[in-house]
Amino acid sequence: MPSKSEEGAKLISEYNLGDVAQHSIVFIVNNKIFTKSDAILEIIDDMRIIWKLLKILKIVPKSLRNWIYDLISEYRHIILKNKTGD
């Protein structure tokens, strides 16, 4: 859910996330907070088996995974624009 939604704002306050949720994906499960690439890898756990193969990315150091995540996040509008042909 968007961080600017009423429910998103409530979760940001409840989990004391500050501006983390404004700049990153946040995944909360069983009161555990995951951000950036850790969040993506946890979400993959709930997906079909083919997507679970991406869990191999856990062997990549977290700092490198998050650097790649930040890079994609920063340029996603360009990436998506090129993909849709807009």
- Specify the DSSP element, H or E, that contains 28: strand 26-29
- Rounded to whole angstroms, how far apart are CA atoms 41 and 29? 13
Q: Which amino acid, 76?
A: R
Note whether 41 and 55 are within 8 A (CB): yes
What pLDDT is recorded for position 63? 94
Tokens standing for residue 8: 């998103």
| Residue 52, pLDDT above cutoff 70 | yes
**How far, in whole angstroms, is CA 85 from its chain's centroid?**
25
Strand partners, 27: 34
Round the average pLDDT of the chain to a whole number and report it.
81
pLDDT mean over 32-61: 84
pTM, full prediction? 0.57
